[in-house]
């Protein structure tokens, strides 16, 4: 049996990694100069690297390790399933027990009439499915011209060609082109884009951009609107309270499908099982992944309402993936959902940890470089600024200061990401109050060190 272990010095591991491993969302040449941080093991909310440093993971991997690292039950579920049925597909009118059981459980958990699941290997793949499913749905109803999908600027829905096209990040669009008939409206980011408007008025204005787009493009052309309940990779953008009720009204009035991307928000992240419940919407389709298995096995999917499933199921839907509904991933996801439910992790996060985290996290606004702190459940962000009163951006290129602070976080053994000049967190739902205190202490230290560097380089001034 091939043994995989940290049997080499860190420098040798880094050199091999740089020579052979192409990293996502990275400048590969940087790994030759700097070397990647080699993570060797994990437990609970902690990671350890090849040098023995203990790191507090305030990002739950990539927003996904909701139950924390090192749960033997998930490893045992994977082992049992691999012994019994390691793989079979669900093409050609076949199925298997794990996919049946998981589908039933998801139908129980999902709100309203979201009772059907089309599986994928990731959230990106599931959002590609959603493009095809929404268009196929309207074609089946005799409206093939109803094929435009509206999304938001600065949205992230994955990095496959279709999912990237749904997303609204121009840097991604510039590399490889986009699929046609996807339209973008502005995001509900009051801090950066609200100007002199009140948050309430700004939320309504941004929501009404959807109505304006529908009328300009043609109600008979627009198939769906897709959005995360809370924007995640866009910087944890929490919309004003006025935003989602107005969006819901518009979708209902103009008969377009509402797709809620729950890849980050789902499975307890916002304090409820799904972010749609937190913001008070009932979507036609929900995209799921990440927290579905707590990242222990790759799995994604689309939870679909009764009416859409019935229409799509009326003819052959020529779409699917080799690993969709993989039995091992389904078994792991089922065990993950059992733990989240039976151990009361979602309830505890909402009622005990999230309020404590909110209080401590919002206290970071007392730091001279922090303008606002926004948090919903167990996902939050702080906006960095040289001038709080005007909500000013830095004179440096966007993201320069955020990256400096991120580097200080990593040096202080805290995984806290930056998106532009916002710092974001998404810790495991099992984080303790003591961990929260440590998170805040290390964040404050990193902000102090980052601000000192920003000032030393003459960048602490408004644009």
Each residue of 216-239: pLDDT tens digit?
999 999 999 999 999 999 999 999
Residue 16: how many other CB atoms lie within 10 Å: 11
Residue 57 pLDDT? 98
Phi, psi of 42 (to 5 degrees): -155, 155
Instruction: Answer whether residue 31 shows pLDDT above 80.
Output: no
Which residue, 308, 276, 306, 274, is CA-closest to 289? Answer: 274
Instruction: Answer whether residue 4 shows pLDDT above 80.
Output: no
* Residues sharing a CB contact under 8 Å with residue 3, sequence separation 6 or more, in sequence order: none
Please compute the mean of the pLDDT values over residues 319-347 and round it to a whole number: 98
Please compute the mean of the pLDDT values over residues 183-199 and round it to a whole number: 98
Give a three-class secondary structure readout of 276-287.
HHHHCCCCCEEE
Q: Range with the lowest mean pLDDT among 44-53, 108-117, 136-145, 175-184?
A: 175-184
Residue 30 pLDDT? 73
227 or 7: which carries more pLDDT confidence? Answer: 227
| Confidence tier at 2 by pLDDT (50, 70, 90) | confident
Please compute the mean of the pLDDT values over residues 134-149 and round it to a whole number: 98
Please compute the mean of the pLDDT values over residues 331-341 and round it to a whole number: 98
| Confidence tier at 6 by pLDDT (50, 70, 90) | confident
26 or 249: which carries more pLDDT confidence? Answer: 249
Q: Range with the lowest mean pLDDT among 12-26, 121-135, 140-154, 396-410?
A: 12-26
Residue 435 pLDDT? 98
Residue 258 pLDDT? 98
Quote the tokens at residue 359.
């209080």
Quote the tokens at residue 126.
């599931």
Phi, psi of 280 (to 5 degrees): 80, 40
Instruction: Answer whether residue 261 shows pLDDT above 90.
Output: yes
Instruction: Answer whether residue 374 shows pLDDT above 90.
Output: yes
Residue 33 pLDDT? 79
Instruction: Answer whether residue 44 shows pLDDT above 80.
Output: yes
Residue 3 pLDDT? 73
| Confidence tier at 27 by pLDDT (50, 70, 90) | confident
Residue 52 pLDDT? 95
Please compute the mean of the pLDDT values over residues 73-82 and round it to a whole number: 98
In the chain, what percentage of residues exceed pLDDT 70?
A: 100
State how far the Cα of 4 lies from the Cα of 25, in Å rounded to an integer: 25
State how far the Cα of 7 lies from the Cα of 339, in Å rounded to an integer: 34
Strand order in the sheet with 54-57: 39-43, 46-49, 54-57, 414-415
Residue 373 pLDDT? 98
State how far the Cα of 456 lies from the Cα of 417, in Å rounded to an integer: 22
Residue 87 pLDDT? 98
Residue 229 pLDDT? 98
Instruction: Answer whether residue 383 shows pLDDT above 90.
Output: yes
Instruction: Answer whether residue 347 shows pLDDT above 90.
Output: yes
- Please report how the helices 327-342 and 72-84 are oriented relative to each other, as an axis angle in degrees rounded to 10: 150
């Amino acid at each position: 049996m091939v043994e995989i272990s940290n049997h080499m010095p860190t420098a040798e591991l880094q050199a091999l990694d740089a020579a052979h491993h192409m990293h996502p969302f990275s400048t590969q040449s940087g790994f030759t100069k700097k070397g990647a941080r080699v993570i060797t093991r994990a437990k609970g909310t902690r990671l350890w690297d090849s040098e023995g440093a203990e790191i507090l993971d305030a990002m739950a991997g990539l927003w996904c390790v909701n139950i924390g690292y090192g749960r033997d039950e998930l490893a045992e579920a994977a082992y049992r399933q691999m012994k019994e049925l390691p793989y079979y597909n669900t093409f050609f009118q076949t199925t298997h027990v794990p996919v049946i059981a998981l589908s039933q459980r998801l139908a129980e958990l999902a709100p309203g009439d979201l009772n059907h699941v089309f599986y994928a290997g990731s959230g990106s793949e599931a959002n590609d499915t959603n493009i095809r499913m929404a268009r196929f749905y309207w074609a089946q109803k005799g409206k093939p011209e109803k094929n435009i999908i509206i999304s938001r600027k600065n949205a992230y829905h994955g990095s496959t060609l279709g999912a990237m096209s749904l997303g609204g990040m121009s840097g991604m669009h510039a590399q490889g082109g986009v699929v046609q008939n996807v339209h973008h409206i502005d995001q509900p980011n009051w801090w950066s884009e609200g100007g002199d408007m009140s948050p309430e008025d700004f939320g309504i204005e941004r929501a009404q951009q959807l109505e304006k787009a529908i009328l300009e493009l043609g109600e008979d052309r627009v198939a769906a609107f897709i959005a995360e309940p809370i924007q995640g990779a866009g910087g944890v953008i929490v919309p004003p309270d006025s935003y989602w009720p107005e969006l819901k009204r518009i979708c209902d009035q103009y008969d377009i499908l509402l797709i809620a991307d729950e890849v980050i928000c789902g499975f307890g992240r916002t304090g409820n099982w799904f972010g749609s419940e937190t913001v008070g919407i009932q979507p036609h389709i929900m995209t799921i992944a990440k927290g579905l298995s707590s990242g222990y096995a790759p799995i994604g999917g689309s939870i679909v309402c009764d009416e859409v499933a019935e229409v799509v199921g009326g003819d052959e839907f020529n779409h699917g993936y080799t690993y969709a509904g993989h039995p091992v991933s389904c078994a792991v996801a089922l065990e993950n959902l059992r733990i989240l439910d039976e151990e009361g992790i979602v309830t505890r996060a909402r009622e005990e940890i999230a309020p404590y985290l909110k209080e401590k996290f919002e206290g970071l606004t007392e730091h001279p470089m922090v303008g606002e702190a926004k948090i919903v459940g167990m996902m939050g962000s702080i906006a960095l600024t040289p001038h709080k009163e005007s909500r000013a951006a830095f004179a440096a290129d966007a993201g320069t200061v955020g990256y400096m602070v991120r580097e200080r976080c990593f040096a202080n053994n805290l995984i806290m990401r930056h998106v532009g000049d916002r710092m974001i967190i998404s810790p495991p739902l099992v984080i303790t109050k003591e961990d929260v205190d440590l998170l805040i202490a290390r964040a404050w230290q990193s902000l102090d060190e980052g601000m000192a560097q920003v000032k030393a380089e003459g960048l602490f001034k408004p644009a």
